[in-house]
Amino acid sequence: MNFRRSDFDVSNRINTTDPVCVKLEVARIYRGLYHVESTALNRAFDDLCRLYFGEYPGYTRCDTHYHDLQHVMDVTLAMARLVDGYERSRGDGPHIERELFVLGIVCALFHDCGYIRRANDTRHANGAAYTTTHVTRGGKFLKGYLPEIGLGRWAEAAPQVLHYTGYERRVETIRIADPMLRLLGSLLGSADIIAQMADRCYLEKCRERLYPEFVLGKLGGFASGDDLVLKTPSFYEGACKRLDEKLEGSYHFAERHFGGPTLYLDEMRKNISYALTMVKSGEIAQCLRRKLPQTLVRP
């Protein structure tokens, strides 16, 4: 296929709007590494879907349109690929054991669950209001959830791993002594960045979905959704620096998973190149003024 479908991953094979497709691919990767099935892995996918669909006791359905189920599936798939790439390239380095793989996937699945509001929430009308605290909220959820699927021994560490995906705490201040858990955190933080920035609809989603979340979350720095798109190239530079320095270049393990191709980086660069081309030509300003979001989806 010569074009990438908007609802598929960077390989154009996995429909990331369908949790079953992602679940099957992650399970395939897991079996390829450990040659067994994982009941906890299967249950975590099912529980995550229940949570986002509003079927999990005590919680409303997901109402954030950028940090939605597709985003979670994209990040979870990227996480599985990074762990796989690490395992296939580590040589004599430390092994990511089966339970740590499952923990990493569970953390990926629930890394944004802090946006989900409780059923009795009378404080906020939308989960985006928790933007600045969603990582901590998600950590609290995981702390209670992990014992339910047999991963209780990681209940204290998992909230710290989740902080690698956010900006509530600087990476260097995250308290994790175990080097394998730090590795898991770096892989998770990397998966969160590369998955969303490689989305074919990334630019459109920034304007139409992410900016409204920023408004509800009371994050300043952007005058409008148009302004957010125009500043995306500079955000990309900061993201690359975080990937290389704070997260120790862990995103490179995706290359080993794919056997060489840098699919995530290629797609990220295509998005930014497209944005820069439109900015320089003045076309993006005209499109934004005319409110034509479809023009922000690159060819």
Confidence of residue 294 (pLDDT cuts 50, 70, 90): very low
- Residue 276 falls inside a structural domain: yes
Instruction: Please report the pLDDT score of residue 267 as a whole number.
Output: 95
Q: What pLDDT does 277 receive?
A: 81
Q: How far apart are CA 171 and CA 161, in angstroms?
A: 10
DSSP the chain: --S--TTB-TTS-SBTT-HHHHHHHHHHHHHHHHSS--HHHHHHHHHHHHHHTT-STTBPPP--SSSSHHHHHHHHHHHHHHHHHHHHH-TTSPP--HHHHHHHHHHHHTTTGGGSPBTT--S-SSGGGGGGGHHHHHHHHHHHHGGGGT-GGGTTTHHHHHGGGSSSS-GGG-----HHHHHHHHHHHHHHHHHHHT-TTHHHHIIIIIHHHHHHTT--S-SSHHHHHHTHHHHHHHHHHIIIIITTTGGGHHHHHHTS--HHHHHHHHHHHHHHHHHHHTHHHHHHHHT-GGGGS--
Our CA dihedral for 29, 251, 267, 5, rounded to 10 degrees, sits at 20
The model's pLDDT over 36-53, given as tens digits with 9 standing for 90+, comes to 999 999 999 999 999 999
The answer on pLDDT for 296 being more than 90 is: no
Average pLDDT over residues 144-155: 98
pLDDT at 293: 47
Q: Which domain holds residue 168?
A: 19-296
User: Taking residues 4-23, what's their average pLDDT?
Assistant: 96
Decide if 11 is inside a domain.
no
Question: Considering the domain boundaries, does residue 9 fall inside one?
Answer: no
Could you tell me if residue 166 is inside a domain? yes
Per residue in 100-131, pLDDT tens?
999 999 999 999 999 999 999 999 999 999 99
**pLDDT at 97 exceeding the cut of 80:** yes
Quick check: is 270 in a domain?
Answer: yes
Residue with the larger pLDDT of the pair 231 and 78: 78
118 forms beta bridges with 59
Instruction: Please tell me the total count of domains within the chain.
Output: 1
Residue 5 lies in a domain: no
Q: Is the pLDDT of residue 286 over 70?
A: no
Checking 218-227 for CB contacts under 8 A at 24+ apart, the result is 218/129, 218/131, 218/132, 219/131, 219/132, 226/285, 226/288, 226/289
Average pLDDT over the chain reads 93
CATH of the domain at 129: 1.10.1300
Can you tell me the distance from the alpha carbon of 112 to that of 79, in angstroms, rounded to the nearest whole number? 14
Per-residue pLDDT at 218 exceeds 70 = yes
109 belongs to a structural domain: yes
In this predicted structure, the answer to whether residue 61 has a pLDDT above a threshold of 90 is: yes
Q: Would 207 be classed as within a structural domain?
A: yes
Contacts of 11 (CB under 8 A, 6+ apart): 258, 263
Residue 105: its pLDDT value, please?
Answer: 98
Residue 297 confidence (pLDDT): 60
Give the pLDDT mean for 192-213: 95
**pLDDT surpasses 60 at 94:** yes
